[in-house]
Every structure is written in structure tokens, then in C-alpha cells.
A and B are shown apart, each in its own frame.
Chain A
Amino acid sequence: MNLPIDVRINQLLREAFIHRNKLVAGFVIISLSMLAIGLAWPKKYESYATILVDNKNIIQPLMEGTAVPTGIADQARNARELLNSRNIMFRIMEFAGLTDSSTTALERERLLEKFKQRMRVSIVGRDIIKISYEDADPVLAQKVTQKLAEVLIEESRLKKTRESAAAYEFIDKQVREFHAALVESENRLKEFRSATLDAKPGTENAVVNKIAELQRTLEKTRVALREAIIKKQSLERQLSGEAEVTISLSREGQYQMKIAELQTKLDALRLRYHDTYPDIVSLKHQIENLKQAIIQEKKRREQAKKAKSKARDRYLDEAIVFNPLTEEIRSELSATKTLIATLKARISETEKLLKEELERGRRIHVSEATLAELTRDYQVNRDIYQDLLKRREKARISMNLDREQQGLKLSIYEPAFLPLKPTGLRFLHFALGGILLGVLLPLALLYGLLQIDSRVRDRRMISEKLALPVLAVVPHLTTPSEKHALTRNLRLLAGVLFFNLVIYGTAGWLKYSGIL
């Protein structure tokens, strides 16, 4: 059953009154313990220094496009790492007087851990690094903080100088290397040019034109040659003896045809007449005569052939042999033969020239590829070299800036101060906390116990939850002697509380007057 809050508070007060002795005892114990802790709690003084980070990084333009500029977060991390490096830590610890030459390595390591815990590096705002250090001694806290800030700046300056010097060295080395490469490629190009004279720009076009011209000439000459050969053949045919034979053969043919004609006529007559019919006899004679004529013709042809072989070019046919046209043809044939020989000679000459030109063209191709490669090498080397030269000059400037401490990135913004008030939990906190805790803790405990305890402490539990009639609530009857005892008890408790207060006051006074 959930009781209303005012009933609960009432109940708590009632129970608190019943257990007042325990509550007061608890209060006294807790508050005095806290007071004692507060007195014994070591004081810590924290000093801090802030360092302004110049965001204008000089290596940034130098490395533009190739490097990412370091942000403030990286700066803080760098600072932390820098300060956390053992050498620097040991140096500062020795400065703070924590260690000396007699400190053993193990002790040194232990002290280092403690030292690290006392030191903090954090980022404040956009570009400020805060270094804080706490110590029981405020003066030492200030000194160490100042030293930390100085060391940080000094170290990062050194680091930067080294960095820019290294960058310059690197670029310088690269410049030298590229210079050598450039000179070499220049030389190679020169040598190649002097070695191949025809490897000049435009040579290739000339060669191509020449080749085309030669090929055209060759084609023309070949056509002319073919024409001459055909002409020669034709002339030769005209002059050949085969013309005679052809004529002869044609006369034989005529005879044969005549015979066939007559034979047809003969056959037709034989159908109607006897062989003795005069026409038939006549026809037979005629056919026989024609046959004789054929035989004579054959004989004459044979004789002519024999004569031909004897008299070489002399034709048997007198009509042809003595033709004036033949003489003309013969002279033309001779001229044609001369032309053919000339043309052949010209073709072979042109082919030779063409071959040479093609060879030359091929040579020009190869040398041009080589030339392009060499030129490219040279150009690349030259470009990089020029770029590096510029960069080297920039690097030299930034190196000089760092050397002259002009491009400084870190500077002390706020120097370490002497802390007057201790940080962390102080005596006052403990004292006030003790009082508060002394009141609240026992009450909370009591309240918790009341929540757990199921025993009836309110009439509502009976009347509402158990639904039993409650006749009345009889308050506790106090006798006069009990009243006296109560009064005495309350006075005692008041006295205890007052005494507690006196202790508090005394402790506070001693604390703030500096005695404790």
C-alpha cells in the first residue's frame, strides 16, 4: 500500500524521534570522521600555462597539394607526446628536484608515473594548448608548469627546425639528382641528332611524296611496256608465214565446197538418171578435176613450206613477199623491240629507287620514335627540375625562417601563475559534506529500513488495507518521569551537537589560521 508522501515524512520524523540517539551518534561519527579526513587530506595546488598555436603553418604552402596541414588537435597530441617522451620528463623531474643522480632506475620509473598523472595537456578553445601541473607546493607547481611550457616550445621549435632542414636537404638532393638526369638526357638527344641527320622534322613527308611519285612512274612505265609487247606480237603475227597457209587453206576449202556442191547436184541427178546421163558424167569429171586441184594445192603448200624453211623469212607467196607494207611493219617491229628494252630498263631503275626510298622511310620512322622518347625524357626532367628548383628556394626560405625563429608556431600566451588556492576537495568541502552526510545518511538509512519493514506504523494500513474498523489511535502515554528523562535526553543530545559544533569551529579556525 502506497502511503501519501506527507504520511511518509511524518512517519520518518516519528521514527527519527524514536531513534534520535542513534541518529545523533551517526551524525557525530560521520561528521567528525569527515572532519578528520578533511584535515588529513593533502592539499594540491594546480598551476597552468597556456600556449598559443599559430595556425599559419609555413610548411603548408610549401607542401601545398601534397601534405595535409596539422590541425590543433594534432598539435595537442604532438605536445602531449613531446612532453611524455622520457628524456624530457626526466629532465623536468630533475629540474623539479624529484630526482637526482643518486636516484635508482626503478625509483625513477615510479616517479615518472606519478609525474605523468600530475601533468595534463588539453586544448582550450580553438588554438590554445593548456598545460597544467599540480603539486603540494604551489611554488614548485608554478615552476614546473613554466618549465613544461618552455620545454614544449623549445622542443617543438627544435623539431620544426630539424624538420624544415630535413625538407630542404631532401629537396636539394632531389634537385641535384634531377639536374644530372636532365644533363644526361640532353646529351643523349644531342648525340642522336648528330648521328641521324635525316632524322629531321618534315623528312618523312618528303620521303612519302617521293615514294608516291616513283610508284606512279613505275605504273606508267609498266603500262607502256605492256602496250609495246602487244604491238610487237601483233606486228610479228602480221609478218609470220602463217598468213600464207591460211590463204592456201582457204583455196582448198573453196575446192572442197565446190566438190560438195557438185556432189549434191550429182546425187540429185542420180535419183532420176543413170550414171551414164551426160550431166552426171560431166559432174563426175568436174568433181575429179576439183579433187586434182586440191591435191595440187597441197603439193604446192608443201613445196612452199620447204622453200620457207630454206629462205627463212621469205614468204612463198610472191604476192605477200614483195609487199611494201611488210617492209614498213618490219621496221616498226624493230622500233617497238627497242622501246620494250628501254622500258624494261627504266622499270628496274625505278624499282631500285623505290626500294631505296622505302628503306629510308623505315629508317626515318625508327629514328623519329627514338627522338620523341628522348625529347619526352628531356622535357619531363626539365619540368621536374624547374619545379624542384622553385621548391628548394621555398624550403630554403622556410628553413631560414625557422633558423631565425621567425616562423614560430608556438608562443606562451599566459605564463604559469602561482596558485594560491588549493584545487580539488578542500577542507571546507569535507566539513560541509560531513555535516550534510551526517544528517542525510542516517535518515536515508532509517527511511530505507522503514520501507523494508512491513510492520504496521499507520492506522490506514489497518483501516484501508485490512478493512478492519479502527476504533481509535491511542497515543503513547508519557509519565512525568518519562518526560523528565526525555528532557534530559534532549539536553544531552543538544550538548553533544553543540560539542560537535565546537570541534568543527575549532578545527576550522585552526585550519584557516594556518596552525594545522
Chain B
Amino acid sequence: MAADSDTLDLDLARPPASGLVTVPSGPDDPRGNLHLRRNHTRQIAEMRESRLLSPTELTERRIISPDMADREVANAFREIRRKVMQFSGPGNFITMVTSVTSGGGASLVALNLAAAFAFDESKTAMIIDCNLENPQLANLLGMKPDNGLTNYLEDDSLDVADIIYPTGIPRLRLIPAGRRCEYSGEYFSSMRMEQLIVSLKQRYPDRYLILDAPPIGESVDANMLSDLADCALIVAPYGKVTEQQISAAAFSIGKDKLAGVVFNQEPRVRV
């Protein structure tokens, strides 16, 4: 699957006014701002989507959708979305999702949270797979992307547009992890990474960025990523972690950025 040439995300270097934006106006002009907002909505509506995933496929991949049969799960993610938005305040923000331990299902939570953000037709979401050691998102979505985050960070010639992929879920984009690598620390501390995140955030005010971070107890990457993020979620899987591990993870992130804990994978007795 080739990188999608999304017109919306062509090039960050280019000013947003160019291309689709016909009426350029300064950010301080309220009229222009409103216009820009309307423009964005239109742009979102016009986003070129690849083949959308069918409800069956979504269920098969454990991805939530607004009209899914299992209301409980969808509502849980809506609740998370609401609380995170409440925590971060108005405007878009970067949310990091990390797990207390590996196998905690953080990637799925991150993906579903992103999907929940994208429920709103006036909002878009972008999920970045930052778990370079054990990237999961592409698998979860059933994609085999050529390039990814590491490729972009290593190769200056690559454009942002080259690593953004549609996911088959409306208004949700993915930046996969890319080439597998063991030493991920320097990537996240690099200038290019910071620039990428900042520009991705600033470019569209209605786009929510979600970073799927490796487990915080097992990698320092999560700490670095939490510096880049505005808020962080800890995923605590049912029956797999102790209180001490959870409190250590919370301490590691710090109170001001910790939006809360998601208690994940609670089994349901269902016959």
C-alpha cells in the first residue's frame, strides 16, 4: 500500500493558504479565522479516503465505530475522549497513550481513542505509532506501509505526506512506525521529531494527535514522548499489573500531564 497523497497533508513547508485555501487571511482576523474554520470543515469533508473498512472488518479488528453494536465500549471511549478534552482545555492537543506493561493493549486503546475523536465529523485525528520496538498499529489496521516515522526522521528527503496513510476509518490518519529499530531514544529527542509534532499540531486546529508510546515501565521513550505531548493516558490492563506498577507509571509521567488511567481489558462474563 503506497503512501496516500492526501491533498490536505501535502507539505508542511507550504503555507496552509496555498492549494485548497482560496482566501488567505491573517490569524488575527476574526472574519478570516471563521472563514478558515469553515474552509477546514469543507476540507475535511473532501478528504480523500481510501477504501473504508466495513463494520465487520472493524469488529474483526476490535475497532470502535459510532454505530457499533457494543455500546458499552463505544461509550467508554467517548467518556475517555470527553475527559481528555476536559483535561486539556479548548483547542487541539497531543495525547500520549502508554501502557504500564507490554501487552496492556495500549495501541488498541490509542487507536480506538483516535477513532473516537474522529467520530465527530468536524474533527480529524491522527495517530502516530511511536512504539518503534514493537509497532502494532499497522497490524491492527491490517496495513503494510512502506514508510513510517523512522524513515522520515532518518531521511530528510522524505516529505510528511509520504508517511501519512489513510486508515480506512473516516477522518483518521496514521503515521506508522516505519523501519524497525532498536535504539529509538535519539529519534524522539531529535529536532526533526519536535518540528514534526509541532507542525502537525499547529497546522490544523481540529486535528487531534495521538501518540502510541511504548510501555512506560519498560522504555524511556514514553518519558520523552510525554514531554512532547500535552497530556498522557496510562493503560492498566486487568489482572496484569500491581498497584505499585501503576503508581510508579503515574509518578513517572507527573501529575500535570497525567489525564488519567484507563482500566483496560476488563473481562465480561458473557455466555
Contact = CB atoms under 8 A, between A and B. Distances in A.
Interface of A: 13-15, 17-18, 453-457, 459, 461-462, 465-466, 468-481, 486, 490
B265 to A, nearest CB: 5
B247 interface: yes
Contacts of A461: 243
B59 interface: yes
SS class, residues of chain B in contact with chain A: mixed
Interface stretch (B5-13, B208-216, B231-239): B231-239
Contacts of A471: 79-80, 83-84, 233, 259-262
Contacts of A479: 59-62
Of A465, A470, A474, chain B has the most CB atoms within 10 Å of the CB of A474
B243 A456 contact: yes
Given A470-B261, A471-B262, A14 B269 contact: yes
Given A475-B76, A479-B59, A481-B60, A456 B264 contact: no
A483 to B, nearest CB: 9
6 contacts: A466-B243, A468-B234, A469-B83, A471-B83, A472-B79, A474-B73
Top 9 closest A-B pairs, CB basis? A469-B260, A471-B260, A477-B62, A472-B76, A472-B79, A473-B263, A17-B269, A471-B80, A459-B263
Interface in B236-271: 236, 238-243, 246-247, 250, 258-271
Given A470-B263, A472-B77, 16 more contacts: A14-B269, A453-B239, A455-B240, A456-B238, A456-B243, A466-B243, A466-B246, A466-B250, A468-B247, A471-B260, A471-B262, A474-B80, A475-B268, A479-B59, A479-B62, A481-B60
Given A466-B250, A470-B261, A476 B266 contact: yes
A453 to B, nearest CB: 8
A478 to B, nearest CB: 8
A468 B250 CA distance: 8
Contact of B261 (A453, A468, A475, A477): A468
A490 B59 CA distance: 22
B72 interface: yes
A456 B80 contact: no
B267 A468 contact: no
Nearest to A10: B269
Contact of B259 (A13, A453, A462, A469): A469
Nearest to B250: A468
Nearest to A450: B239
Contacts of B247: 466, 468
A309 B197 CA distance: 197
B242 A462 contact: no
B108 interface: yes
Contacts of A468: 234, 246-247, 250, 258, 260-261
Contact of B241 (A15, A18, A455, A475): A455
B109 interface: yes
A411 to B, nearest CB: 68
Of A15, A17, A453, A475, chain B has the most CB atoms within 10 Å of the CB of A475
A477 B60 contact: no
Of A461, A462, A480, chain B has the most CB atoms within 10 Å of the CB of A462
B266 A474 contact: yes
Interface residues of B, number: 44
Contacts of B233: 471
Given A17-B269, A468-B246, A457 B239 contact: yes
A477 B242 CA distance: 22
A169 B236 CA distance: 98
B246 A475 contact: no
Contact of A13 (B109, B112, B239, B269): B269
B103 to A, nearest CB: 13
B32 to A, nearest CB: 36
Interface in B128-175: none
Interface string B49-79: 0000000100111100000001011001101
Contacts of B72: 475
Given A17-B269, A468-B260, A473 B76 contact: yes
A480 B60 contact: yes
A455 B242 contact: yes
Contacts of A454: 242-243
Contacts of A474: 73, 76-77, 80, 105, 109, 112, 262-266
Given A468-B246, A469-B259, A472-B79, A477 B267 contact: no
Given A456-B236, A459-B263, A471-B259, A476 B242 contact: no
B269 A465 contact: no
Contacts of A455: 239-242
B80 A462 contact: no
Contacts of B61: 479
A18 B267 CA distance: 8
Contacts of A465: 243
A468 B246 CA distance: 9
A185 to B, nearest CB: 106
Nearest to B78: A472
B76 A14 contact: no
B76 A480 contact: no
B20 to A, nearest CB: 36
Given A462-B236, A480-B60, A473 B243 contact: no
A18 B250 CA distance: 28
A8 to B, nearest CB: 14
Contacts of B239: 15, 453, 455-457
Contacts of B261: 462, 468-471
A481 B56 CA distance: 11
